[in-house]
């Protein structure tokens, strides 16, 4: 026996990075037409994509897959399948209708299970961007999402736009959705703040969930807020 034999190939089958699903939930309700909120949302997400791509490139151990959904009178995926972040392009959405957030959450719950998500995936990220209260059965949708293990494991974050989204009723909805005392909604009251928050949420969230550290079952896993709270943004009220 000798250790000078030419090394055989590394043991095991083909390797792959762990999938990381990032889902944008974009509010396309009629109120988003007011004061240019929908344009600001489109611009902010489009602007955030290159930053997401940079973060993804820096971590070859996660294969970031992005999907987006618009919700208004109905909730609908903007693309059939998740796209690798390197190929993801934001398609502008238009505003009109009511706020079917409950339906949106239910649709997300439908894809957070096998065969749509591999059992070796990293925690998904669900980023909700909205300016107000749901008009359908939010709790039914949330219960459906949370009935799925991947829904419970997801990092759920909110970017709240304008004063309606700062109301106690809306904040309560967001608190229940996020279900993590250390994660508060990011409040954006003008286009610059929206850009900053969306960029922060998309990149910090990706970094947070793509680390291989384990989380004790049942514990609150994520803590990206401390740094987020320290972010300096223009706080002038436009919305």
Binding track, positions 101-120, relative to another protein; x by CB under 8 A:
-----------------xxx
List binders of another protein among 54-83 (CB under 8 A): 59-61
83: tokens are: 């796209």
CA distance 179 to 14: 37
Q: Do residues 41 and 68 make contact, with C-beta atoms less than 8 angstroms apart?
A: no
Q: How far apart are the first and last CA of the chain?
A: 75
Give the helix/strand (H/E) hosting 170: helix 168-178
Residue choice 14, 89, 230, 236 for contact with another protein (CB under 8 A): 14
Residue 149 in contact with another protein, rule: CB under 8 A: yes
Q: Which is nearer to another protein, 219 or 236 (CB)?
A: 219
For the stretch 209-218, contacts whose Cβ atoms lie closer than 8 Å and that sit 24 or more positions apart, written own/partner, are 209/20, 209/122, 209/123, 209/124, 209/125, 209/155, 210/20, 210/59, 210/61, 210/62, 210/64, 210/122, 212/61
CA distance 47 to 7: 47
Phi, psi of 228 (to 5 degrees): -65, -35
Residue 217 in contact with another protein, rule: CB under 8 A: yes
Q: Which is nearer to another protein, 126 or 161 (CB)?
A: 126
Residue choice 87, 213, 230, 232 for contact with another protein (CB under 8 A): 213
Which region among 39-47, 161-169, 187-195, 206-214 touches another protein (by CB under 8 A)? 206-214
Residue 22 in contact with another protein, rule: CB under 8 A: no
Q: Which is nearer to another protein, 40 or 209 (CB)?
A: 209
Q: Which is nearer to another protein, 59 or 167 (CB)?
A: 59
- Tell me which residues touch another protein (CB under 8 A): 1-3, 5, 7-8, 10-18, 59-61, 118-124, 149-150, 152-153, 182, 209, 211-219, 221, 223, 226
């Amino acid at each position: 026996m000798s250790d000078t034999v030419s090394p055989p190939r590394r043991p095991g089958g083909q390797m792959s990075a762990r999938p990381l699903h990032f889902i944008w939930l974009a509010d396309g309700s009629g109120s988003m037409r007011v004061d240019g909120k929908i344009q600001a949302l489109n611009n902010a997400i489009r602007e955030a994509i290159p930053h997401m791509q940079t973060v993804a490139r820096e971590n070859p151990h996660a294969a970031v897959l992005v999907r987006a959904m618009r919700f208004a009178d109905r909730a609908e995926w903007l693309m059939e399948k998740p796209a690798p972040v390197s190929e993801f392009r934001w398609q502008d959405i238009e505003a009109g209708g009511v706020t079917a957030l409950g339906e949106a959450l239910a649709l997300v719950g439908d894809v957070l299970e096998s065969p749509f998500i591999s059992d070796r995936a990293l925690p998904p990220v669900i980023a909700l961007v909205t300016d107000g209260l749901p008009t359908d059965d939010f709790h039914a949708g949330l219960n459906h999402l949370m009935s799925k293990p991947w829904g419970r494991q997801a990092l759920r974050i909110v970017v709240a736009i304008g004063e309606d989204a700062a109301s106690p009723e809306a904040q309560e909805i967001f608190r229940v959705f996020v279900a993590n005392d250390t994660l508060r909604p990011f409040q954006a009251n003008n286009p610059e703040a929206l850009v900053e928050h969306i960029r922060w949420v998309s990149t910090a969230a990706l970094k947070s969930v793509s680390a291989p550290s384990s989380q004790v079952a049942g514990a609150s896993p994520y803590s990206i807020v401390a740094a987020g709270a320290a972010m300096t943004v223009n706080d002038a009220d436009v919305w």
